[in-house]
Amino acid sequence: MDGQMNDLPSRAHITEVGPREGFQFEPPHITTANKIRLVDALSQTGLPEIECASFVNPKVVPQMADAFAIAEGITRHDRVAYRCIWLNEKGFLQALGSGFDTPALTSGSASDTFLLKNNNSSPDQQLERQRKLRHVYNENGLGSGPVYLFTAFGCNYEGAIPVKKALQRCAELVHICEEAGVPPANITLCDTIGAAGPADVRALVSAVRERWDYPVALHLHDTRGLGIANALAGLELGVARFDSSVGGLGGCPFAGNRSAAGNVATEELALMCDRMGVETGIDLGALVEVASLAEEIVSHPLPGRLSKAGLFNATL
Amino acid sequence: MDGQMNDLPSRAHITEVGPREGFQFEPPHITTANKIRLVDALSQTGLPEIECASFVNPKVVPQMADAFAIAEGITRHDRVAYRCIWLNEKGFLQALGSGFDTPALTSGSASDTFLLKNNNSSPDQQLERQRKLRHVYNENGLGSGPVYLFTAFGCNYEGAIPVKKALQRCAELVHICEEAGVPPANITLCDTIGAAGPADVRALVSAVRERWDYPVALHLHDTRGLGIANALAGLELGVARFDSSVGGLGGCPFAGNRSAAGNVATEELALMCDRMGVETGIDLGALVEVASLAEEIVSHPLPGRLSKAGLFNATL
């Protein structure tokens, strides 16, 4: 191992976001039974955390109208956290009632234009909503949770986001948590549209580290094929928390989609960690099978390569 | 830029191997006219070197029976090297007569089993053939050329290849060149079946560097999704020569192919270099269009993501 790998973590926590990102993105033809089947299969692979659904307006996202049914249908394992997301108080209260795990989520966007299009909020409105949400979290006895910064590296409306701007938006969200007496559990930097390269990841992660002691997590979309290289850049800086999606669920690049693409494929991120001696607790063989199951469920090829090739048997 | 990036080269030389790898792998339905169309389009993107065809037994590889026609049909640009490959003296003499550029190629395999299956040679037979070939190169006035080490990191028959074994096979090939008074132009380490992770790339590249002063090049297949991360690991060690294939030509993971997959996608490797300040001379926009052309020609989706998403406009 050379000097470049000194900061590698001994262990990485991978949160599977495929069910939420994937089912939200796919046309609404996927049955609740199949969604439950995928979550149950994922929970057998050693993954510590699975993002299963979102509580959002079913008029806007009909794919997630069965979020309650998914929560009721899955078979829970003690060692797995079954997470969901929401954008506002109504969604949070639904999530709370659903039985999913609900780590307090404070979110915002580095790009103001993306925030307007995605959350229909101005930066001030978003901060006010997040402040109220954090208050509701406290009322419901929630502890610290992640701060999510969307479009941390760039967006399709504003182009590249300067580190200074991303830090400013991040600081506003961190302040909301600290002000409420509940510091963030981590700061998750999202490359929402696959704008980053490895140098960009290093620059922002390093800047966030210089400013705060909170753990940094990465949520990396593979829109332009650099996702796994960006994950490597993060790993080598000691980043030990990642979101990823089995098979690369969350987008279908083969449909010529120009607005979204899935996250880094969980099985490939886990393979890279494994090949570098970073423990994930994941059973790679089992996870590769689930990637194939995910393709069967969405009934089109997913971007992940590993499930097509199979694991390399290094010990033949 | 942090310390981890100190060894980044200021410039990288990318050799496009898509036409040779891709057309060799695809079913033989691709017309000679379309092969010529792709090579001509690639030669307009700023790529310095294109591997266009191979001179091998047409009974074994019927897809390459039109190698001469491709050589005659393409429109040459002075700044582009139009390369081809061969496995034996007969193939080399055909290549020489074809008009393609023919840098002296000395090749072998770190895996003896792969060598037997791919070249029908024992290690000793291979060395003897390469020695004779190098003699023929000298007779034909060829200078130094690349040493290609196949399955440098592992193979499907022998599993992971220890660095020591790869170095030994590499040393035998280097010796053939030095013995002939024509030291290698570079040592190209091939991850023929996508066995490597970033740490493996670092270990072997560093070991080769410790032993020889010859430039190291990487030929990375993306069989398991780690190709671009492996390229990043090489780039950060100062590796400044890469083979890659436009669109990821060279394999169709979507057919559930378990034995082969394309190289790292040239446009994604070029994008990563660009985002890291490593000059390639490539016009990214033009190359992304050629990736779409490649998909049109093979008439199935290729693994590359960038051509589906389009370039991110950082300067909006």
* Contact yes or no for A271 and B225 at CB 8 A: yes
CATH number at residue A226: 3.20.20.70
Rounded-to-integer distance, Cα A101 and Cα A57, Å: 20
* B positions 20-79 inside 8 Å of A (CB): none
Of the residues A275, A289, A302, the best mutation for testing chain B's interface (the one with the most B CB atoms within 10 Å of its CB) is A275
- Mind listing the pLDDT tens digit for each residue in A259-275? 457 899 999 999 999 99
B231, B236, B312 ranked by CB distance to A154: nearest: B312
Distance from CA of B286 to the nearest CA of A (A): 16
- Mind listing the pLDDT tens digit for each residue in B9-59? 999 999 999 999 888 888 878 999 999 999 999 999 999 999 999 998 888
Of the residues B242, B299, B312, the best mutation for testing chain A's interface (the one with the most A CB atoms within 10 Å of its CB) is B312
Q: Length of chain A, please? A: 316
A232, A254, A305 ranked by CB distance to B308: nearest: A254
Q: What phi, psi does A154 have (nearest 5°)? A: 170, 165
Of the residues A221, A300, A308, the best mutation for testing chain B's interface (the one with the most B CB atoms within 10 Å of its CB) is A308
Domain range holding A215? Answer: 13-309
Of the residues A226, A287, A299, the best mutation for testing chain B's interface (the one with the most B CB atoms within 10 Å of its CB) is A226
A194, A198, A274 ranked by CB distance to B272: nearest: A198
A261 part of a folded domain? yes
Tell me the one-letter amino acid at A291.
A
Locate the DSSP E strands across A62-185. 81-86, 106-109, 146-150, 154-155, 159-160
Rounded-to-integer distance, Cα B210 and Cα A204, Å: 34
Chain B residues with CB under 8 Å of A4 CB are: 4, 202, 236-237
- Determine contact, residues A30/A23, Cβ cutoff 8 Å: yes
* A positions 130-189 inside 8 Å of B (CB): 154, 156-160
Alpha-helical runs (H) found in chain B: 18-25, 32-42, 67-73, 89-98, 112-119, 123-139, 163-179, 198-211, 227-236, 266-275, 284-298, 306-309
* Contact yes or no for A308 and B1 at CB 8 A: no
Identify which of A133, A135, A155, A27 has the alpha carbon closest to the alpha carbon of residue A85: A133
Question: Is B315 within 8 Å of chain A by CB?
Answer: yes
A1 part of a folded domain? no
Task: Search chain B and give the residue with CA nearest A304.
Answer: B225
Alpha-helical runs (H) found in A155-283: 163-179, 198-211, 227-236, 266-275
- Strand B49-55 to strand B81-86: parallel, antiparallel, or no bridges (unpaired)? parallel
Chain B residues with CB under 8 Å of A5 CB are: 199, 202
Please provide the distance, in angstroms rounded to a whole number, between the alpha carbons at the two ends of chain A.
23
Chain B residues with CB under 8 Å of A196 CB are: 275
Residue tagged active-site, from B84, B170, B252, B273: B252
Instruction: Report helix, strand or coil for B80.
Output: coil
pTM for this model (two decimals): 0.95
Rounded-to-integer distance, Cα B266 and Cα B284, Å: 10
Residue linked to tokens 């895996």: B111
B3, B197, B308 ranked by CB distance to A272: nearest: B197
B235 part of a folded domain? yes
- Strand B216-220 to strand B13-16: parallel, antiparallel, or no bridges (unpaired)? unpaired
* Contact yes or no for B232 and A232 at CB 8 A: yes
Q: What domain count does chain B have? A: 1
B7 part of a folded domain? no
For chain B, give the mean pLDDT. 92
Chain B residues with CB under 8 Å of A313 CB are: 156, 159
- Mind listing the pLDDT tens digit for each residue in B207-251? 999 999 999 999 999 999 999 999 999 999 999 999 999 999 986
Rounded-to-integer distance, Cα B7 and Cα B2, Å: 11
CB atoms within 10 A of CB B250: 28
Identify which of A33, A51, A31 has the alpha carbon closest to the alpha carbon of residue A100: A51
B273 belongs to the catalytic site? no
Looking at residue A265, what DSSP letter applies?
Answer: B
- Mind listing the pLDDT tens digit for each residue in A40-95? 999 999 999 999 999 988 888 888 889 999 999 999 999 999 999 998 999 999 99
B228, B305, B312 ranked by CB distance to A229: nearest: B228
Of the two residues A133 and A315, the one the predictor is more confident about is: A133
Most confident of A18-22, A201-205, B87-91: A201-205
CA distances from A89 to A35, A125, B114 (A): 25, 14, 60
**Predicted confidence band at A22 (pLDDT cuts at 50, 70, 90)?**
confident
Rounded-to-integer distance, Cα A215 and Cα A189, Å: 11
A7 part of a folded domain? no
**Predicted confidence band at B1 (pLDDT cuts at 50, 70, 90)?**
very low
- Mind listing the pLDDT tens digit for each residue in B108-149? 999 999 999 888 899 999 999 999 999 999 999 999 999 999
What average pLDDT does this structure show over A124-147? 97
- Determine contact, residues A62/A93, Cβ cutoff 8 Å: no
For chain A, give the mean pLDDT. 92
CA atoms within 13 A on the CB side of A308: 28
A1, A206, A232 ranked by CB distance to B229: nearest: A232
Rounded-to-integer distance, Cα A207 and Cα A213, Å: 11
- Mind listing the pLDDT tens digit for each residue in B269-299? 999 999 999 999 999 999 999 999 999 999 8
Token readout for A7 is 């900061």
Question: Among residues of chain A, what percentage have pLDDT more than 90?
Answer: 82
Look at residue A158 and tell me whether its pLDDT is greater than 70: yes
B3 part of a folded domain? no
Q: What is the per-residue pLDDT for B256?
A: 41
Residues A310, A241, A75, A29, CA torsion sign:
negative
ipTM: 0.94
Task: Give the CA-trace dihedral at B36, B37, B38, B39, to 10 degrees.
Answer: 50
Q: What is the per-residue pLDDT for B24?
A: 80
**Predicted confidence band at A6 (pLDDT cuts at 50, 70, 90)?**
low
- Mind listing the pLDDT tens digit for each residue in B45-77? 999 999 999 998 888 888 888 999 999 999 999
Identify which of B119, B121, B203 has the alpha carbon closest to the alpha carbon of residue B154: B203
* Contact yes or no for B231 and A226 at CB 8 A: no
Of the two residues B278 and A3, the one the predictor is more confident about is: B278
Rounded-to-integer distance, Cα A132 and Cα A134, Å: 5
B315 part of a folded domain? no
Q: What is the per-residue pLDDT for A199?
A: 97
Rounded-to-integer distance, Cα A255 and Cα B310, Å: 13
Establish, for the pair of chains A and B, how many residue pairs have beta carbons separated by less than 8 Å: 185
Determine which helix (DSSP H) or strand (DSSP E) holds A124, and give its type and residue range: helix A123-139
Distance from CA of A204 to the nearest CA of B (A): 11
A2 part of a folded domain? no
Q: Length of chain B, please? A: 316
